[in-house]
Amino acid sequence: MRILLVDDHQVVREGLRRMLEVEPDMEVVGEAADAEDALAKVKLLSPDLVLLDIKMPDVDGIVLTRRIKEEAPSSKVVILTLYEEYLAQAARAGASGYLLKDLKREEL
């Protein structure tokens, strides 16, 4: 599985990368810190999965999910956030899943 990490916090992206790199069937193919970079990398890298933070400084994760699904409908989007209240919005925007940031590595 080819994964693109999208979060405005570098420490979160690095932590996720380390957690996912040990999995033999997962490859982190890129990272993005904002919506513009994320969309460019989705087009360039064609990831199977975009692991996306919901709270971003320029465009929120709900809007970005819609844009990703328009640009690359075959890429799955999983929202990774601290906030449970956005589950329904994320699903309506086209997200395939929703994970809370307090999860354990095994759960990820």
Instruction: Read off the pLDDT of residues 43-99 as tens digits, 9 standing for 90 and up.
Output: 999 999 999 999 888 898 999 999 999 999 999 999 988 878 888 898 999 999 988
With cut-offs at 50, 70 and 90, classify the pLDDT of residue 11: very high
Question: What are phi and psi for residue 27, nearest 5 degrees?
Answer: -135, 120
Among residues 54, 59, 58, 42, which one has the least CA distance to residue 78? Answer: 54
Work out the average pLDDT over 20-29. 94
Q: In this structure, what token pair is assigned to residue 85?
A: 């209240």
Q: In this structure, what token pair is assigned to residue 69?
A: 């699904």
Given phi > 0 = left and psi -120 to 50 = alpha, else beta, which region is 98?
beta
Among residues 102, 105, 97, which one has the least CA distance to residue 61? Answer: 97
Question: What are phi and psi for residue 21, nearest 5 degrees?
Answer: -65, -25
What is the pLDDT, as a whole number, of residue 51? 96
Q: Which amino acid is at 7?
A: D
Taking the C-alpha atoms of residue 58 and residue 55, their distance in angstroms, rounded to an integer, is 9
What is the pLDDT, as a whole number, of residue 100? 84
What is the pLDDT, as a whole number, of residue 20? 93
